[in-house]
Amino acid sequence: MISRYYIILLLFIFISCKTNFYLLKNNKTKVPKNNELFKTNSSPLDKKIFSKIDTNAVYEEYNILTNVPARLDYNNVENSIYNVYRFYSNGCFNSFYLDRDDFLHKKDFDPETNGRRGVFHIKNNKVVFKLFTEINQMQKYGIADGYFEIYSDTIYMIRPGKYPIVRKYVKRKLSNDYLNFKANWYPSLAPDPESFR
């Protein structure tokens, strides 16, 4: 009887050692244990990128079929979840999934509680990204690559591939209470502070 428990315990330890992610405080969002997944071969961020991306706002998913922000798309009764991006000045960003049927809470934008993690930088004159997310319909997690096209207060997220994904996001200002969080999963992408002088 006791040997059966040892076998189950060893099996559990073996399986848990194989996982390359952990759960955030919301007990739903998976993030990588090893931030080296985000490593890029790019130099530090060019400060010009922040003339295009506002790090003091969020970018909400926009339904191009109904021509309204996804959070206001009450015609879509099957799905009340919408996506929001938050960019940080060190080259990190979050992809938050929110429920339009719920009020906004500060913890919704806390990267230690919620939000898929990614990094962005400029490569070949494009704002490219890496995002740790589901990469197939079997809910396997890994790095998704893509790029952002930015036009004023609108961002298009483009993930090329066999089945390309294109989504539109529109800037929304929120109180600083919601945005008073830091991203620390890959701070080495931060621009040199001397470059801002």
The pLDDT tens digits for 9-43 are: 444 444 444 558 888 998 898 888 877 777 765 55
CA 137 from centre of chain: 18
Look at residue 32 in the predicted model and tell me its pLDDT.
85
Instruction: Give the integer Cα–Cα distance in Å for 105 and 118.
Output: 22
**Structural domains of the chain, with CATH:** 21-196 (2.40.128)
Spell out a b/e string for 81-93, using b for 16 or more CB atoms within 10 Å of the CB, else e. ebbbbbbbbbbbb
Look at residue 196 in the predicted model and tell me its pLDDT.
33
Pairing of strands 21-23, 116-123: unpaired
Look at residue 7 in the predicted model and tell me its pLDDT.
56
Look at residue 34 in the predicted model and tell me its pLDDT.
79
The pLDDT tens digits for 99-115 are: 999 999 999 999 999 99
Q: What is the CA radius of gyration of the chain?
A: 19
CA 176 from centre of chain: 19
Amino acid at 105: H
Q: What is the pLDDT tens value at each position of the chain, 197 positions in all? A: 556 655 554 444 444 445 588 889 988 988 888 777 777 655 567 788 888 999 999 999 999 999 999 999 988 888 899 999 999 998 899 999 999 999 999 999 999 999 999 999 888 889 999 999 988 877 788 889 999 999 999 999 999 988 899 999 999 999 999 999 999 887 555 444 443 33
